[in-house]
Amino acid sequence: MARRSKKNDAPAEKTKSKKKDKAREDAENVEVDTRQPVVAVVMGSDSDFPVVAACIETLEEFDIPYEARVISAHRTPDKAHKFASTARLKGFRILIAAAGGAAHLAGVMASLTTLPVIGIPIQTPTLGGADSLYSTVQMPAGVPVATVAIGKAGATNAALLATEILALSDDSLHDRLQSFRAAMRRTVAQKNARLREKIASTS
Ligand code: AIR
């Protein structure tokens, strides 16, 4: 194969350096969130992430600084212990823990901190998430875990519940929650109108 002349190489080099400049520019334009994370979102495995993403998206919607990480109550018990027992000192205000199957993560976290802990039961292929739900919700008296629904609805609600707790001492967050509810009411009204039109047109 013929070797391309230097002259022909030049445009490629130019494109490369343009791409580098663009990448540098993009990196400079990314705003780094330097705020103290107040919500920790912990999940038993990265396989839980597709569900937990709904929680993270909601926290982002309300502009709540959070930190997310994988910690397993069974596979990395030392890490779970260290994280939960130091979470308050690190400045976290609420812990959200998602796990599936023998889902002890939220309970273990709750046993090691007095921060409010919200548990998200992840659905499982074998038992549909009933295993996760029972493991998360059935805590003994003395160590509460606020357990939300199985799956994505629960993940969204975990973030909303955390937002509501934080809004107890944050009026602007409370305003955002009110707007969120108003938007939800408008969506339901639109759905109702569409449904009534559909029924009217078929009868
Ligand atoms: N899990 C991980 N450590 C303890 C538990 N209960 C859960 C994860 C995930 C499920 O086990 O939260 O829902 C399967 O994890 P993996 O990594 O096998 O996909």
Domain boundaries defined on the chain: 39-169, 171-203
109-123 per-position pLDDT tens digit? 999 999 999 999 999
81-113 per-position pLDDT tens digit? 999 999 999 999 999 999 999 999 999 999 999
Rounded to whole angstroms, what are the CA distances from 170 to 94, 154, 155, 184? Answer: 15, 23, 22, 21
User: Quick one: which atom of ligand 1 is closest to the CA of 75?
Assistant: 3
Ligand 1 contacts (CB < 6 A) are 44-45, 47-48, 72-75, 99-103, 122
C-alpha 49 to ligand 1 mean position (Å): 11
Question: Which carries the bigger pLDDT value, residue 108 or residue 7?
Answer: 108
Predicted TM-score (pTM) of the model is 0.86
CATH of domain 39-169: 3.40.50.1970
Atom 9 in ligand 1: residue holding the nearest Cα:
100
Distance separating alpha carbons of residues 132 and 124, to the nearest angstrom: 8
What average pLDDT does the segment 128-151 reach?
98
Rounded to whole angstroms, what are the CA distances from 95 to 73, 121, 162? Answer: 14, 14, 8
Please give the angle made by the CA atoms of 48, 52 and 58, to the nearest 5 degrees.
175
In the numeric block, the tokens 């969506």 are attached to 187
What letter represents residue 155's amino acid? Answer: A
